[in-house]
């Protein structure tokens, strides 16, 4: 009886699909490449344009090996949001994708 009750309690969790995770990346308004799906081309364009966006993000990002993956992704998103909010040069934008 206890097994049946446990199974009925857990059934919604067993049947659900894993929730999508929304990931964020920083890019520039003129970069035609997707930083998620075309990273090598995106990076080449970014570097050749002199933006060095990953380096800039790394200077703003508060990161630690002691953070969980979820906390690292949250710190990344917060740094991106700060850069886009300040956006002194007017070139940065945030792109997101569900995984």
In a domain, 6, yes or no: no
Arithmetic mean of pLDDT, 16-33: 84
Domain count, the chain: 1
In a domain, 7, yes or no: no
In a domain, 47, yes or no: yes
Query: From its phi and psi, is residue 18 left (phi > 0), alpha (psi between -120 and 50) or beta?
Result: beta
**Band of the pLDDT at 63, cuts 50, 70, 90?**
confident
Q: How confident is the model at residue 19, as a pLDDT?
A: 61
What's the token pair of residue 97? 């994708």
In a domain, 33, yes or no: yes
Q: Give me the helix-helix angle, 69-86 and 53-60, nearest 10°.
A: 110
Instruction: Give the residue among 34, 52, 59 at the shortest CA–CA distance from 91.
Output: 52
In a domain, 5, yes or no: no
In a domain, 88, yes or no: yes
In a domain, 8, yes or no: no
Q: Is the confidence at residue 25, as pLDDT, over 90?
A: yes
Q: Which domain holds residue 42?
A: 21-98
DSSP 17: P
DSSP 93: E
In a domain, 67, yes or no: yes
């Amino acid at each position: 009886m206890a097994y049946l009750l446990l199974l009925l309690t857990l059934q919604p969790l067993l049947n659900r699909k894993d929730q999508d995770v929304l990931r964020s990346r920083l890019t520039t308004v003129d970069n035609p490449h997707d930083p998620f799906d075309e990273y090598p081309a995106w990076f080449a364009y970014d570097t050749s344009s002199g933006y060095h966006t990953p380096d800039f993000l790394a200077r703003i990002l508060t990161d630690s090996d002691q953070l969980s993956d979820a906390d690292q992704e949250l710190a990344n998103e917060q740094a991106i949001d700060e850069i886009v909010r300040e956006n002194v040069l007017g070139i940065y934008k945030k792109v997101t994708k569900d995984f």
